[in-house]
Amino acid sequence: MMVRNWIFFVTVVVLSLHIAGCSGNAAPSTQQQGQTGQGGGGRGARGGPGGSGGGGAVPVSAVPVAVQDMPIYFRGLGTVTANNTSVVKSRVDGPLVRINFQEGQDVKEGQVLAEIDPRTFAATVNQAKATLAKDEATLHDAQTNLARFEALAKEGVIAQQQLDTQRSQVGQFEGQIGADKAQIDAASLQLSFTKITAPISGQIGLRKVDVGNIIHAADPNGIAVITQLQPIVVIFSLPEDQLQTTLQAMRKGVLTADAYTRDDKTKIVSGKLLTVDNAIDTTTGTSKFKAVFQNQSRELWPNQFVNVHLLVDVKQGAVTIPSAAIIRGANGSLVYVVKPDSTVEARNVQVGITEGTVAQIDSGLQSGDVVVTDGQDKLQNNAKVTVQPPAGQGGGRGNRQAQGGVDQSGQSGQSAQGNQSGQTTDRSGQTGRQGTTGSGGSGGQTFQRGGPEGTSNGTNASPVTGNQTGRKRQGGTGNR
């Protein structure tokens, strides 16, 4: 019976030790910052249970109310349009013998761009000149006969009717001379049309016909197209509700128009509002406006899609906040204002105009108020908050320090410090307890993983010996 009892007692002891070792090894460790285990007294890390991480305060972002001049813009969608566009066409028919421009070249008004074979038109001019010479000789003969008839008529040799007939012939020949001269001018003009010139200054496009082809005045496409890029205009639309406000602003002075990219984020160039169309489009309920841009660097290109911001007014001394601070609900718009005691107050506001990410407040706020811009979904009236610093300005992660107490040999305990950064882990709630074993009085100390409450239990920790950096401890020999 004694042997059986002894065996039962040994079995119970072994099972108890095994259960205690399993529970000590299975205690979880959490990754936290700023751990300190000192003198065997368990103290939780910052932000963990039992720590001093804000006492239930909600972390939020907040900014003060700003008082500044607020520009008022009307925004519309627009299309870049060339100020002038001209199709280069021939005014006469004939074979194209020469091209005097390069595609994409800047040309000046009157510059010769192409030439048609001029020989046919030169022959017509020569023919008209020959006809003129013949008619001039006939006129000279008629004038000579008229002088004779006048002398004979004075002497009564010929009848008055014959004299009148001769005068009429002279007049006919003089009219013929005038027609011949006009014919020469017309033929010379046709000859000049064989040299095709630029009707306007601008940039010429791609060539649409090659040398050697017969071109005609009736060809619809012409030879090329010239587009005037400097200055250039943008045609954009605004809702009809904004028309009267814009017209009133136009009476006060010239309005500034800014062209933005398709995504409405990048400003391209600034210009001036030129005019407004004289009728509202009934199909869209919008009015068309024309703005002109000097386009010195050719930032704008014909048929380019742009967003236009038309500056119509500037509100002086406006109370402004980020639009992200505004919460819109069934009872209107409200913001959370941070009070001096670090609590928040829900306050109704009257929102005026919004430009981008900035909102103008007509009533409800004043200079000096601080409004919450992030974290409003976790707030209610009189909630306690902690205002976080802007991103990138927060302090670095804390240093971990573990200081041991005095061991049983009477020697000073182990002290270890390690700078923690990146993925270095930290344990919350660990307690440095006095070592139960020491090695020659060298500061032996036992560290064991504890639970969330910072308790240390169990004795089956693996020994760690040597210099430790970061997660290890320097100069200590003991069980961990």
Q: Domains along the chain?
A: 58-70+316-387 (2.40.420.20), 74-81+227-315 (2.40.30.170), 89-216 (1.10.287.470), 401-480 (no CATH)
Left, alpha or beta for 317 (phi > 0: left; psi -120 to 50: alpha)?
Answer: left
| DSSP structural state of residue 116 | E
* SS3 of 460-480: CCCEEEECCCCCCCCCEEEEC
Over residues 232-237, mean pLDDT:
96
pLDDT at residue 450 in the model: 39
Q: Long-range contacts for 327-330 (Cβ within 8 Å, ≥24 apart)?
A: 327/376
Residue pair 222/89 in contact by the 8 Å Cβ criterion: yes
Nearest CA among 407, 405, 447 for reference residue 427: 447
Over residues 282-305, mean pLDDT:
94
Mean pLDDT score of the chain: 77
Over residues 142-164, mean pLDDT:
88
Band (pLDDT 50/70/90 cuts) for residue 388 is confident
Q: How far from the centroid of its chain's Cα atoms is residue 133's Cα?
A: 73
Query: Is the pLDDT confidence value at 10 over 70?
Result: no
Strands 385-387 and 58-64: parallel
For residue 236, give both structure tokens.
Answer: 């954009």
**By three-state DSSP, how is residue 97 classified?**
strand
Band (pLDDT 50/70/90 cuts) for residue 16 is low
Bridge partners of 65? none
Q: HSE (CB half, 13 Å, CA atoms) of 427? A: 24
Residue pair 375/338 in contact by the 8 Å Cβ criterion: no
pLDDT at residue 75 in the model: 93
Which helix (H) or strand (E) segment holds residue 352: the answer is: strand 344-355
Residue pair 370/390 in contact by the 8 Å Cβ criterion: no
Which helix (H) or strand (E) segment holds residue 334: the answer is: strand 332-338
Q: How far from the centroid of its chain's Cα atoms is residue 402's Cα?
A: 52
Bridge partners of 64? 370
For residue 34, give both structure tokens.
Answer: 């700023």
Residues 163-196: tens digit of each pLDDT? 899 899 999 999 999 999 999 999 999 999 999 9
Query: Is the pLDDT confidence value at 29 over 80?
Result: no
Q: Is the pTM of this model over 0.75?
A: no
Bridge partners of 388? none
- Neighbouring C-beta atoms of residue 275, cutoff 10 Å: 12
Residue pair 81/228 in contact by the 8 Å Cβ criterion: no
Query: Is the pLDDT confidence value at 476 over 50?
Result: no
Q: What strands, in cross-sheet order, belong to the sheet with 85-88? A: 85-88, 224-227, 202-204, 106-107
Instruction: Tell me if the bond preceding 231 is cis, omega within 30° of 0.
Output: yes
**By three-state DSSP, how is residue 2 classified?**
helix
- Neighbouring C-beta atoms of residue 67, cutoff 10 Å: 14
For residue 343, give both structure tokens.
Answer: 């609590």
Strands 202-204 and 445-448: unpaired
- Neighbouring C-beta atoms of residue 338, cutoff 10 Å: 19
Over residues 381-385, mean pLDDT:
89
Least confident of 125-134, 240-249, 364-373, 418-427: 418-427
Band (pLDDT 50/70/90 cuts) for residue 2 is low
CA distance 277 to 10: 104
